[in-house]
Structure 1
Amino acid sequence: MNRVKRPQLTGRAAVLAVVVCAIAMSLAYPIREYITQRRNIAQLEQEKARELAAIKELEDRRRQLQDPGYIKRQARERLFYCDPGQKCYVVMDDEPAGGTGTAAPKRTATPPWYQTLWESVEAADTGTGRRARTGDAAGRAGAPRPAG
């Protein structure tokens, strides 16, 4: 019962391991590229679906704009046009259209652009501009002010 101890790794097993590793390494890059390309294809199909939906919306809008009834209705609603011989009235109301009756917060009226411009010119002339009012570092550090 004298058994000969055989080595754990035979020459055939080593060659087989090298061949399997070589096959795995040679397939790794193509498989990675395949997965990347499949992902790109899926993204492009989603983009194509979005673009087709946008095209359908634009075609629907084009058909809508070719409808004379729609054009007439839009002219009445948005531009306040009237048919010849028809009397039209525009009611100016303080409440916005479709209001629920609750008072909307009032906005402060902004002055026209030319008034704002002129006020900034006057403030720069008198030295009471933003810098002097806020008292920032440049205004306090004795920055030169215009004479006047």
Structure 2
Amino acid sequence: MAGNRDRFSTATRLRLLGEQTAARVYRSQNRRQDRRSRLTGRAAFLALVMCTLVVALAYPTRQFVSQRNEIAEQERLTREARQRVEELRDEKARLQDDAYIERLAREHLHYVMPGETGYTMIDPDAARKHQEGREATDRPWYSNVLDDVDNADRPER
């Protein structure tokens, strides 16, 4: 009976309880670590898959954005070209009008109609500068051309 009592003594019970508890805690920690290591492995695999997808999609995405920008630029150039074509068509239509041509000839070429008297005002300062050998920048273009034709036969100074 003494052995029986020893078996159910408080110290023995506490020792057995402590061993059982320690075993449970040890098993629980092992399970958690196994779960953590599995979770870490899964997380690493998932991260690897995500990185692969990002890398795999990065180049096509960049190409797509680049091509969209290029398409937008080409559409802008097309709109500008169409606008320029319309302007040129309008100008062509205006150039078919004799009154418009006459007005351009009077304004830019200083033409006069038969019976009219044309006057050209000369700036005295510009004439003086020209006589001194300096080019006058505010003279009409045709005056410079005529002077160049007149001076073409003269020897260099």
TM-score for both structures, normalised by structure 1: 0.59
Provide the C-alpha distance between the structure 2 equivalents of 1:104 and 1:28, rounded to a whole number of angstroms: 70
Letter in 2 for 1:68: D
Structure 2 partner of 1:57: 87
**Which consecutive unaligned segments of at least 5 residues does structure 2 have?**
1-23, 135-150
Is the alpha carbon distance of 1:87 and 1:44 closer, same or farther for their aligned partners in structure 2, counting shifts above 3 Å? same
Structure 2 partner of 1:80: 111
Task: Give the match's secondary structure for 1:118.
Answer: coil
Provide the C-alpha distance between the structure 2 equivalents of 1:73 and 1:21, rounded to a whole number of angstroms: 72
Letter in 2 for 1:92: T
User: Which structure shows the higher helix fraction?
Assistant: 2
TM-score for both structures, normalised by structure 2: 0.56
1:22, CA displacement in angstroms? Answer: 0.9
For the pair shown, the structure with the greater C-alpha radius of gyration is: 2
Q: Which has the higher contact order (CA 8 A, sep 6+)?
A: 1
Is the alpha carbon distance of 1:65 and 1:23 closer, same or farther for their aligned partners in structure 2, counting shifts above 3 Å? same
Give runs of ≥4 in structure 1 deviating > 3 Å.
103-107, 110-115
1:23, CA displacement in angstroms? Answer: 0.8
Question: Could you say what the CA RMSD is over the residues aligned between the two structures, in angstroms?
Answer: 2.8
Aligned residues: 108
Letter in 2 for 1:30: P
**Which consecutive unaligned segments of at least 5 residues does structure 1 have?**
96-102, 120-148
Is the alpha carbon distance of 1:107 and 1:45 closer, same or farther for their aligned partners in structure 2, counting shifts above 3 Å? farther
Structure 1 partner of 2:70: 40
